[in-house]
Amino acid sequence: MARDGKTGRFSKQELGKHFNSLAATAITKRIVVKCFYYLVICSMAFVFLYPFLTMVITSVMTDSDLINITVKWIPSELKWSNYKIAFNQLSYRRYFFNSLIIAGLSTVGHVLSCALIGYGFARYTFKLSGPLFALVILSMLVPVQTIIFPMYIQYSKMGWLDSYKPLIVPTFFGYGLNGAFFIFLFRQFFKSLPKEMEEAARLDGCGPLRTFFRIMLPMSKSSVLVATVLSFVWHWNDYFEPNIYIRTPAKRVLPSLLPSLYALLNSEDAMELVMEDGGFTFNNAMLMAGTFLVILPVLIVYSVLQKQFMEGVERSGLAGM
């Protein structure tokens, strides 16, 4: 860039050019950064989606597509009957309601009890509140598997075996699957709320339980939603505890049927993709269709509540420890 001979200043034209080029480099830089950003995030998303997409695509493949190696992403035709076979093979209608009862009731139990307990830990300080909360955290650390046998004996003495009680009742007392996590979640949330609302309510003569149910619980909608989604999803997917406590085949849950489905396929030669069994074709595509059917309710629940769930997470106050 040349200076003007007379005044020793940059001419307006020159300056304009200079700034234009600067702006241009800034824009190209931003575009490059954006491209890189999307490249990274897309590759990450691909890793996340890969198994899921493969499952969905495999589930609609025809027998010939399954054998054909060149067909990976785009099936030559969509074979929806795979789903029908899987639906019947899983006895979906019956086991769906079993799973729904367990997951639904446990979710209700978790939300009610953990909100109450979390509120108790967030708002009341007393001599033992520290050690008691440490016990909550400790119960998070104990693997279920180390105490599963004594629990099994305990439930068998109570006559709870082969029913849904061992799965549902503990959730109403802040235990069960990841119960301590939800207590923690609610405690953090209630701690982040200002105390003024309750104090006003209490001054007006509202009792503690009524204050909780009428004022605090409606205010904690976002955390209730987070707990609902997570608890439902976790209970729906869990098959370890149902497998141990439930013996009667009619009472089993959907995810615990999958192992037998997989075993059915693996028992045959894995290379032999097509297998005749009782008049219908049982193959990998059907297996994937069955797998997809099992997680379908969870996907629906999440896709409906997705936006509120994410907002709830951001508002959960988990960061303010």
Partner 1 sequence: MKKKTSADAAPEAVTAVTPEKPAKEKKPRTKRILTLERKHTLEVIIFLAPWIIGTAAFFLNPIISSMRLSFSEITQLKGFKMGWVGLKNFEYILAYDINFMPIFVTVVKDTLINTPLTLVFSLIIALLINKPFVGRGFFRTCFFIPVLLGSGYVMQQLLQIDAMGTVGVGIVLPPMLKGLLGNTISVVVQSFLDRITLILWHSGVQIILFLAGLQSINGTLYEAAKVDGATQWEMFWKITLPMISPIILLNFVYTMVMYFTSSDNELVAYIIDEVFVSQQFGQGAAMGWVYFLFVFALCGLVFGIIKLNSREKKGVTANGKRR
Residues 237-276, interacting with partner 1 (CB under 8 A): 237-240, 244, 255-256, 258-259, 262, 270
148 vs 161, beta carbon nearer partner 1: 148
Binder of partner 1 out of 1, 2, 47, 203 (CB under 8 A):
47
244 vs 286, beta carbon nearer partner 1: 244
- Report the chain's C-alpha Rg in angstroms: 29
- Give the shortest CB-85-to-partner 1 separation in angstroms: 18
Binder of partner 1 out of 14, 63, 208, 217 (CB under 8 A):
208
Q: Are 191 and 223 in contact (CB under 8 A)?
A: no
Region from 20-28, 84-92, 96-104, 123-131 binding partner 1, contact rule CB under 8 A: 123-131
Convert 9-41 to b/e letters by CB count within 10 Å (16 or more is b).
Answer: eeeeeeeeeeeeeeeeeeeeeeeeeeeeeeeee
15 vs 142, beta carbon nearer partner 1: 142
Which helix (H) or strand (E) element contains residue 282? strand 280-282
By CB under 8 A, the residues from 214 to 233 that bind partner 1 are 230, 233
Binder of partner 1 out of 124, 218, 250, 272 (CB under 8 A):
124
- Between the alpha carbon of residue 59 and those of residues 13, 103, 267, the distances in Å are 65, 26, 20
By CB under 8 A, the residues from 284 to 303 that bind partner 1 are 284, 291, 294-295, 298-299, 302-303
108 vs 116, beta carbon nearer partner 1: 116
Q: Please name the residues in contact with 42: beta carbons below 8 A apart, sequence gap of 6 or more.
A: none
By CB under 8 A, the residues from 79 to 108 that bind partner 1 are none
Which helix (H) or strand (E) element contains residue 280? strand 280-282
Region from 2-10, 14-22, 24-32, 236-244 binding partner 1, contact rule CB under 8 A: 236-244
Q: Which structure tokens are listed for 302?
A: 């999440």
Residue 148 binds to partner 1 (criterion: CB under 8 A): yes
Q: Are 170 and 176 in contact (CB under 8 A)?
A: yes
20 vs 36, beta carbon nearer partner 1: 36
Q: CA–CA separation, 298 vs 243, rounded Å?
A: 20
Q: Within 10 A of 180 (CB to CB), how many other CB atoms are there?
A: 21
Region from 15-23, 79-87, 96-104, 130-138 binding partner 1, contact rule CB under 8 A: 130-138
By CB under 8 A, the residues from 154 to 193 that bind partner 1 are 154, 170, 172-176, 179, 181, 183
Binder of partner 1 out of 92, 182, 186, 212 (CB under 8 A):
212
> On the CB side of 77, how many CA atoms lie within 13 Å of its CA?
7
Region from 11-19, 22-30, 91-99, 138-146 binding partner 1, contact rule CB under 8 A: 138-146
Q: Are 142 and 81 in contact (CB under 8 A)?
A: no
9 vs 214, beta carbon nearer partner 1: 214
Which helix (H) or strand (E) element contains residue 277? strand 275-277
